[in-house]
């Protein structure tokens, strides 16, 4: 039995922050007169802040100077952070803590693989940073998902071969990144969106510890 690495995405997998990213982007889109729906938002999940803005501007066919782009990027992050001010353990998505606990009891290696530059403060605020043996976030990588860099780096830090890594992801880009890395992709969300994942669970409440046992033994 080879050593495994369990790599968790953050936004939309561990914490319910995907809605805050959406709210902050929608505010900017509205100011620019761009229609930005939850369907459009799926393409922003797991994608870096800079790339997310470009996608929104492309949607509105807006050509903006770098100066304006920087202003919107700052505004988006300030709005996003203002939604997180009172963040605590209650923002952890249902079923996540028991799975983290189970993995710890089984002495499994756990990593975070997130595109977010706000990952560490979120893990601290929610009181779960101690579960993670390695953290790779938006500050550590140069290539955004669907590039596999973030997950490959996490597996490397844990000294685990990519094929022995299991990735939990809520975004299309993240599932593609895990697949490209030759890791086991586990989609957390809707099957209609995450159909490229090897396994899909609506949320962690639907995931039994027997699934984790199977992943550990495989």
Quick one: 94 or 218, whose CB is closer to ligand B16?
94
- Mark residues 37-56: x for contact with Mg ion by CB under 5 A, - for none: ---------x----------
**Among 151, 133, 120, 184, CA closest to 46:** 151
162 is in the binding site of which of ligand B16, Mg ion, none (Cβ under 5 to 8 A by kind)? none
> Is 9 one of the catalytic residues?
yes
| Beta-bridge mates of residue 89 | none
Q: What beta strand segments (E) does 96-148 contain?
A: 109-113, 134-136
Quick one: 47 or 165, whose CB is closer to ligand B16?
47
Roughly what angle, to the nearest 10 degrees, separates helices 66-84 and 18-31? 140
> Is 11 one of the catalytic residues?
yes
Provide the minimum distance between the beta carbon of 61 and Mg ion in the complex, in angstroms, as a whole number: 27
Q: Find tokens 């930005």 and name the residue.
A: 36
Q: Which residue is nearest to Mg ion (CB)?
A: 12
Q: Which of 9, 135, 155, 172 binds Mg ion (CB under 5 A)?
A: 9
137 interacts with Mg ion by CB under 5 A: no
**Among 208, 175, 180, CA closest to 193:** 175
Cα 44 to Cα 94: distance, rounded to the nearest angstrom:
23
Task: Name the residues annotated as catalytic.
Answer: 9, 11
Interface with Mg ion (CB under 5 A) = 9, 11-12, 46, 170-171
């Amino acid at each position: 039995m080879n050593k495994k690495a369990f790599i968790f995405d953050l936004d939309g997998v561990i914490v319910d922050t995907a809605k805050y990213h959406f709210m902050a982007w929608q505010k900017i889109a509205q100011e620019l007169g761009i229609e930005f729906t939850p369907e459009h938002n799926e393409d922003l999940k797991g994608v870096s802040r800079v790339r997310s803005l470009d996608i929104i501007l492309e949607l509105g066919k807006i050509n903006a100077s770098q100066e304006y782009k920087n202003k919107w990027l700052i505004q988006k992050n300030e709005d996003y952070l203002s939604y997180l001010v009172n963040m605590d353990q209650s923002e952890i998505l249902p079923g996540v803590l028991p799975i983290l606990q189970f993995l710890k009891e089984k002495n499994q290696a756990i990593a975070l693989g997130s595109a977010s530059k706000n990952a560490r403060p979120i893990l601290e605020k929610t009181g779960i940073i101690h579960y993670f043996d390695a953290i790779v976030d938006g500050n550590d990588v140069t290539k955004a998902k669907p590039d596999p860099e973030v997950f490959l780096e996490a597996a490397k830090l844990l000294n685990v071969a990519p094929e022995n890594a299991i990735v939990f992801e809520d975004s299309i880009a993240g599932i593609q990144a895990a697949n490209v890395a030759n890791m086991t992709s586990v989609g957390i969300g809707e099957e209609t969106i995450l159909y490229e994942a090897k396994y899909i669970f609506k949320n962690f409440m639907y995931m039994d510890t027997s699934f984790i046992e199977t992943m550990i033994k495989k």
